[in-house]
Amino acid sequence: MRITVFSIFPEIVDAYCSISLVGKARAGGHLELSCVDIRDYATDRHRSVDDVPYGGGAGMVMKPEPIFAAVEATDPPRPLYLLAPWGRRLDQPLAHELSVLEGFSLLCGRYEGVDARIEDHLVDGAISLGDFVLAGGEIAAMAVIEATVRLLPSVLGNPVSLEEESFAGGELEYPQYTRPAQFRGMEVPEVLLGGNHAQIAKWRAEMAARRTVAHRPDLGAD
């Protein structure tokens, strides 16, 4: 899979995506990640990428010229998504949709956002992490990349993990325990220690359902 990220802080994304699971995917040839510095395509000696908004108002807006130039010069894999509040909410179904593509690209906004001509004539859509504001799109880009890359074939050590994790079956994952069996008076449920796989499967299904109803009842809503 090819992913290109456009940012004025490309080193943030590149550093994060060089470690852990995404780093292993890059090292193993499953992911080809390019991080493009938008400032490299600015035309003035200050490498300016922002300017005051027409009509007045607080803050600065990212200019169209360097962003259009960066995209046109690098010819990134499409679709190209802007990380923005108006975008589609990132969830597991969207991560699955992205994971079957040959590639895609992400544009990280900053300041008060990007010139609307970028939204209307350059990007193919937008992705949002949720109804809150970040200083820029880099954290959102890294979340999109990790959620997507971990779904690629051969990236996870045990692919069964994808089948049993939260949201895979429309509900939260069951509680997990590991050694020791007793810790400060807190014990692992007896059913998990008995080795009866049918009983364990039943218990896990029940606990997943209970946890979903208690914490995310909306997941079971029609």
pLDDT digits (tens, 9 = 90+) for 197-208: 999 999 999 999
Helix (H, G, I), strand (E, B) or coil at 145: helix
Query: 176-188: per-residue pLDDT in tens?
Result: 999 999 999 999 9
Quick one: pLDDT at residue 162? 62
- Domain boundary assignment for the chain: 2-149, 163-220
> Is the separation of the CB atoms in 82 and 110 below 8 Å?
no
Query: Which of these CATH numbers, 3.20.20.100, 3.40.50.150, 1.10.3720.10, 1.10.1270.20, describes 163-220?
Result: 1.10.1270.20
Q: Return the SS3 of 7.
A: strand
- Model pTM score: 0.90
Nearest to 110 by CA among 90, 83, 128, 130: 83
- Beta bridge pairs of residue 136: 110
Identify the band that residue 78 occupies on the pLDDT scale cut at 50, 70 and 90: very high
Domain topology for 2-149: Alpha/beta knot (3.40.1280)
Cis peptide before 53 (omega within 30 of 0): no
